[in-house]
A and B are shown apart, each in its own frame.
Chain A
């Protein structure tokens, strides 16, 4: 099936003819080039979403085809920077899915109380909102002082922002609502002070947090954890990479440790489903049982 699109493209040359097999070759070559030349490995990211964002960059650069984009990217580091921005999805919020945090308080916290020391990994923590939310929760449950939180992401720019703990002031209303619905026990404004257009969160919330760069696609486990959060990260990976990362999580969890996934992610479609049991009907909280 060959249908020509982009008929009004201004550039000279033969008309662009869409061919899905050829498109896949072009995408694979481009991602291979990006990996070998720049070291960023997007080769196992979810195809439809990568394709969508690559085409956005083709348009953004005023080009016509993925092969043209490949040449541009390989020869122009600035174009690579722009592509990197297109390929990173860092959206996050504090107490994202409040019902998840409520369920965590009710079902997981009692379990954590039985441990003398608790290690928690936030894999793909982005700008840190999730980590600060968990720090607040643990503080209120009286568990913070025996907890250590490891917050990692592939992207060092977001980690830098996470360390600062300054979040947009205009989102505090939304976060306050989330905090209350998540079962917060105090007044949310106790945790931050307004600074210009940012909300600076109390640095004491991160006294037990270690931020570091970690690539889920290539790096290994670095400790044994009681809880691993990996929310809204795996959706960007293809099934092969998802299974690889699930293996990493499985190897990194203590027996009966808890794996927390995003609201629309499921272990059901991975090879590791038999190793866990669901601990909540509504939320994606799993316990390692095998």
Chain B
């Protein structure tokens, strides 16, 4: 573990039900060699199936996996938080939980973002996309406080501005930009790539 290495290990992306197009655009803009572990947390119905995984896999050469408990976090992979569980990020692996929904959501974006901030500190990137709730704000704030990179979709260009607007307001350090620009920006971020034990 490099305490002060430059670069990022994990990227967490939060959006609500309507954000599928935005996530697909984001993933299709990241090169296959993108080195971070990307975790997508999207609000959806508790019975929704594995379809999200395949919808995302269509758009990226990176392997896309639906998270299972204690699954290792590997660089260069995309992970989808399963419906009806909270997904927590530990150093090197995921843990799931069926604690009560937070702000009516399970998966909760905040739960994943907070754990990413606590486990990866300044090596975490938080991304808030379009969404009709204020989930994600608290978690993004924590990522910012821990020295991570925080990015928010420009509310004016988001299908649903509530979530990005709340996040941008609460996190002054957040870089706010339209989706296309954001994708280019994220693709250029340095990757820590330090080998971590699972």
- A residues lining the B interface (CB < 8 Å): 1, 3, 5, 18, 20, 23, 46-49, 51-53, 89, 91, 232, 234-236, 239, 242, 262-266, 268-270
Contacts and interface: CB of A to CB of B under 8 A. Distances in A.
A268 B146 CA distance: 33
Given A52-B115, A234-B69, A264-B68, A89 B88 contact: no
A242 B97 contact: no
A73 to B, nearest CB: 20
Residue among B3, B67, B88, B100 with the highest chain A CB neighbour number at 10 A: B88
Given A18-B146, A91-B100, A264-B66, 10 more contacts: A1-B147, A3-B145, A51-B118, A52-B114, A234-B69, A263-B82, A264-B69, A264-B85, A266-B70, A266-B71
Contacts of A49: 88, 95, 97, 99
A1 B90 contact: no
Contacts of B126: none
Given A1-B121, A46-B95, A48-B89, A266 B115 contact: no
A234 B66 CA distance: 18
24 contacts: A1-B3, A18-B145, A18-B146, A20-B118, A46-B90, A47-B90, A48-B89, A48-B95, A49-B95, A52-B115, A91-B98, A91-B100, A235-B85, A235-B96, A242-B70, A263-B82, A264-B66, A264-B69, A264-B82, A266-B69, A266-B70, A269-B72, A269-B93, A270-B70
B147 A3 contact: yes
Contact of B98 (A1, A51, A235): A235
Contacts of A48: 88-90, 95, 115, 118-119
A177 to B, nearest CB: 10
A194 B115 CA distance: 43
Contacts of B71: 266, 269
A91 B106 CA distance: 13
A240 to B, nearest CB: 11
A220 B1 CA distance: 37
B87 to A, nearest CB: 9
Interface residues on B, range: 20 to 34
Interface of B: 3, 66-72, 82, 85, 88-90, 93, 95-100, 111, 114-115, 118-119, 121-122, 145-147
Nearest to B4: A1
Rank and list the top 7 A-B pairs by shortest CB-CB distance, nearest first. Answer: A48-B88, A269-B70, A46-B95, A235-B69, A48-B115, A266-B68, A235-B96
Contact of A20 (B66, B99, B115, B121): B121
A198 to B, nearest CB: 21
Contacts of A5: 145
A235 B87 CA distance: 11
A264 B100 contact: no
A20 B71 CA distance: 22
Nearest to B144: A3
Contacts of A1: 3, 121-122, 146-147
A3 B145 CA distance: 6
A19 B121 CA distance: 10
A266 B72 CA distance: 12
B81 to A, nearest CB: 10
B157 to A, nearest CB: 31
Residue among B85, B89, B95, B100 with the highest chain A CB neighbour number at 10 A: B95
A232 B98 CA distance: 8
